[in-house]
Structure 1
């Protein structure tokens, strides 16, 4: 947090996020995520968000659509009716900020630990892989011990608790 502060990143107050991840019924962990739509229901401060992500270059580079939903349980039922299945529950405490044009999140994920997540919007003519390498260099410039993962939280949680999804 101090290294981020020294670079002008002001982190928000902590928020608790309760996410339920969903996958198409025919998809299984171990299969490629590229080109496959995945859904998420998130509750934060009583607000429910529905998100669909479709990985395009790798599972970290996604087309994303998000909207507020009034009723989490009804959206859950709608996802089941569309043949999505719940995979894992991801509960975390998040603090967010901006580092220039990059979004920064400091996440404490229940069952996994602490993560620094950087995200940037990528234009259609840009390489997602190149942007990921740039974001990795930014994190390493903080001068703190980090380990880069190319897995999403749901995959990491599934790896530590295979019965979870």
Structure 2
């Protein structure tokens, strides 16, 4: 699997404790990046819907448009779930033309099923990437991410270490979310 990396995450919904979380981050010495606007266009293989995709079925393909301090960037990412939605193998490459990339994906038999818009700030603490995400139509979340891991690493051990860091920052497991933003939005969209 040349060029791929494993990504393991934990994610928690944040409500009134954002200020406490930011204070805890500051006290730990971590400094959040400037806000980055991200627009993710999510594609899956036809005729699948997003809810049909799981480990072993089909990967999710994402075109991510980012803008930070006036600078734009576009990434093409392929993610395949391993253990669950927050433990996956990811291949990523920078592309120069989002529209042409979307057209190529369509020609390859994929179709766009979701757009996720968010503002992200991130930092590194205790070896983990920490993201504070404000996701349109979902709210505020904190993610801790470990990436570049070997495929045989134990994700539960890694997640235990991430939760220890999160809990030191005031983010409890009772607010844990086990899905990606795309699938959370898909659930809302499918509710009557």
Q: Calculate the TM-score normalised by the size of structure 1.
A: 0.90
Q: Which has the higher contact order (CA 8 A, sep 6+)?
A: 2
Please report how far the alpha carbon of residue 34 of structure 1 lies from its aligned counterpart in structure 2 after TM superposition: 1.1
Q: Which range moves more in the overlay, 78-87 or 127-136?
A: 127-136
In the comparison of the two structures, how many residue pairs are matched? Answer: 163
- Equivalent residue for 1:110, pick from 129, 136, 142: 136
- Which residue of 1 is the match for residue 9 of structure 2? none
- Equivalent residue for 1:95, pick from 105, 110, 121: 121
Structure 1 Cα separation of the partners of residues 165 and 31 of structure 2? 16
Aligned 8 A contact 2:81 2:88 in 1: yes
Please report how far the alpha carbon of residue 32 of structure 1 lies from its aligned counterpart in structure 2 after TM superposition: 5.1
Alignment of 1:23-42 (within 5 A): 23-31=44-52, 33-35=54-56, 36-42=58-64
Q: Does 1:7 find its partner at 2:28?
A: yes
Aligned 8 A contact 1:57 1:129 in 2: no
- Which residue of 1 is the match for residue 150 of structure 2? 123
Call closer, same or farther: CA 1:38–1:80 in 2, change over 3 Å: same
Please report how far the alpha carbon of residue 125 of structure 1 lies from its aligned counterpart in structure 2 after TM superposition: 2.6
Structure 1 Cα separation of the partners of residues 85 and 141 of structure 2? 17
Q: Calculate the TM-score normalised by the size of structure 2.
A: 0.78
Structure 2 Cα separation of the partners of residues 80 and 124 of structure 1? 30
Structure 1: stretches of 5+ with no match in the other structure: none
Which has a greater percent of strand?
Answer: 2
Q: Does 1:158 find its partner at 2:190?
A: no
Structure 2 Cα separation of the partners of residues 141 and 16 of structure 1? 27
What do the CA deviations read for 1:32-54 (whole angstroms, capped 9, x no partner)?
51133111001112211111111
Structure 2: stretches of 5+ with no match in the other structure: 1-21
- Which residue of 2 is the match for residue 62 of structure 1? 88
Structure 2 Cα separation of the partners of residues 26 and 131 of structure 1? 35
Please report how far the alpha carbon of residue 139 of structure 1 lies from its aligned counterpart in structure 2 after TM superposition: 1.2
Structure 2 Cα separation of the partners of residues 149 and 34 of structure 1? 18
Please report how far the alpha carbon of residue 6 of structure 1 lies from its aligned counterpart in structure 2 after TM superposition: 1.5
Q: Residue 125 of structure 1: SS of its match in structure 2? A: coil
Q: Does 1:147 find its partner at 2:171?
A: no
Aligned 8 A contact 2:60 2:79 in 1: yes
